[in-house]
Structure 1
């Protein structure tokens, strides 16, 4: 792995590896998940399919933890290419804890800005996401937006989100309202980002374009605990391992004024209101 990826990850909190998966692999995965979704709902689906709903996210709801029952999802989650990149970024192989697929059809709401480790509660260390585009993703169809350098912030205290534009109901405050920047990607590109990086997405305002993405969540190899929902964790050869369950919420950060502008400091108490699903 190029040292530039680690340098960018350390400085910005994320790095984009272009073309990590081939176009034919992406097409196979995209067709596979569209087939699964069209067949209906599955046990432990995050949201059941409501084919007649006016809400596009009800007609094509996201799916989570597919690797627990779908072999193709499992093999993607523990793919050696993902492991190689993250080992280079983190210094050792991570543990795998979650798969997700977002369909985000035309007209869908986005997801308010958030930090993944608010939900995963990996300790010590943090979680890492591998976010792979299954379509061309850009501003029009609601690509990811990230706040460079926010991985250095603590996990921030949440506030209410605008559910007219976000399917989640909490978000995090920013010192500057336009701090998030879009990350446009091609199919097969993978964005790796730190668990404290603030990120989210705007609505898909296109008329005929999905924004499908396959996501793996991982925790650093030195982690001893993670939230209960993410058990069992897997080593990158697929072997389950026993970790402790993270309990409750710890301190969270709030913005306070300083001579050099707002600074996020630990002053509040986390309240977990939603699973990261």
Structure 2
């Protein structure tokens, strides 16, 4: 369901379906700034991106990338998007007054690039209080043709993490998929949204995306992940392999309220890196 303002109906829809669409979450000028950020990141103008593929020409540099993790570490525009007022207002309504972010992901997804198989974000980012929530912000109009999100409404309600297995379907870039859940592909619905809209969804919601089969054009999106600041975040490692302990990952950004664990300080561990092609695996 689409909403233009945060209200009780939005919260009820989120609880029932596991997702809502927030129209006009970012203004057009902020979307344009993030387009520029994507170009700067892919060209190395904001610093090195670990795992970045070598461009064959200056014209195709964006089309060499599928996803860049943690753009907020080097981009003012990406960091500002973590604090987007309409998104944060929605997050405080569905999570609570104290909210922290721990990850941003900039998807480029050119023509021919794959999507992601069925998965639950909480499988990859385990929170102790099940408060993980994503804000998937469209930077281009997201359609079935160019690889929009698909969701299984209500699949979050059991609060169950379904088993995972290796898969080799070339439509998807990751080698892991969720399976053995009580839904079929026929239950899925596409979430087509215009640029600037945000899909806000629960960390237990089963979702996927299909390849960009459009004849031309990118399907750029910024996916930010948030949770209650009142919960510990037991991530074990960050992409470069640094062990951060099994209790509380502190490379975070507060976006609302207060941090009950501020006395621990903030770490600076993660760095921008490019998701490898399927042959190289997937770390999300």
Alignment correspondent of 1:234: 253
Q: Does 1:166 align with 2:183?
A: no
Q: Distance in 1 between matches of 2:203 and 2:189?
A: 17
Change (3 A) 1:170 1:103: same
Alignment correspondent of 1:24: 29
Matches within 5 A, 1:18-57: 18-39=23-44, 42-43=47-48, 45=50, 47-52=51-56
Structure 2 unaligned regions, length at least 5: 1-5, 239-248, 266-280
In the alignment of these two chains, the number of paired residues is: 245
Q: Distance in 2 between matches of 1:231 and 1:61?
A: 27
Alignment correspondent of 1:256: none
Q: Distance in 2 between matches of 1:106 and 1:231?
A: 36
1:66 is displaced (CA, Å) by 1.7
1:274 is displaced (CA, Å) by 5.1
Partner SS, residue 152 of structure 1 = coil
Change (3 A) 1:73 1:226: farther
Alignment correspondent of 2:241: none
Q: Distance in 2 between matches of 1:186 and 1:58?
A: 21
Alignment correspondent of 1:105: 110
- TM-score normalised to structure 1 length: 0.80
Change (3 A) 1:92 1:223: same
Q: Distance in 2 between matches of 1:177 and 1:75?
A: 36
| Alignment partner of 1:92 out of 66, 72, 97 | 97
1:167 is displaced (CA, Å) by 0.5
Matches within 5 A, 1:188-207: 188-207=196-215
CA displacement 1:94-131 (0-9 Å, x = unmatched):
21101110000011111111000111111122310000
Change (3 A) 1:163 1:57: farther
Report the aligned-residue RMSD. Answer: 2.6
Check conservation: 1:41, 1:48, Cα contact below 8 A.
no
Partner SS, residue 94 of structure 2 = helix
| Alignment partner of 2:72 out of 26, 44, 67 | 67
Change (3 A) 1:143 1:38: same
Partner SS, residue 4 of structure 1 = helix
Alignment correspondent of 1:4: 9
Partner SS, residue 29 of structure 2 = helix
Check conservation: 1:105, 1:209, Cα contact below 8 A.
yes
Change (3 A) 1:12 1:102: same
Check conservation: 2:126, 2:234, Cα contact below 8 A.
yes
Alignment correspondent of 1:257: none
